[in-house]
Amino acid sequence: MLNILLFILLGLVAGILSGLIGIGGGIIIIPAFIFFFGMPQHMAQGTTLALFVPPIGILAAWEYYKHGQVDLTAAALVCLGFVFGGYVGAQFANSLSSKVLTRIFGVALLIMGLQMVLRKS
């Protein structure tokens, strides 16, 4: 039950960031699957592609799925949260100036980049 709520929360956060600053999929969801849910890189990528299937990654997601590298439950739950989070993030972004939005975007990329560079494997 906790993972269900955490997957939906991940979708909400990624959706809000996507609506707010245009990022979310690979930049938020893949690292979250790895760091918070312990998924291996391939599973994280395959599951992320599966939640973006229509129409973005259907062939790539299918290839990962054939190799057992997709968690369909996680993909569906994150997708559910992402839909609503994207709406909230877009509303918030439209209330900000371009200057503030640009700075938020830059800080988000910096934090995520540092996390990936400094992480111990």
What proportion of the chain, given as a percentage, has pLDDT over 90? 23
Question: Which letter does DSSP use for residue 57 in this model?
Answer: I
For position 121, what pLDDT does the model report?
Answer: 67
Mean pLDDT rounded to a whole number for the chain: 85
Distance of CA 52 to the CA centre of its chain: 10
Q: What three-state secondary structure class fits 15?
A: helix
Helix axes 41-51, 72-93, angle to 10 degrees: 60
Place 104 in a pLDDT band, splitting at 50, 70 and 90. confident
**Residue closest to 29 by CA, chosen among 20, 40, 15, 19:** 15
The structure's pTM equals 0.66
Longest dimension (CA), the chain: 45
At residue 55 the predicted structure's pLDDT band, cuts being 50, 70 and 90, is low
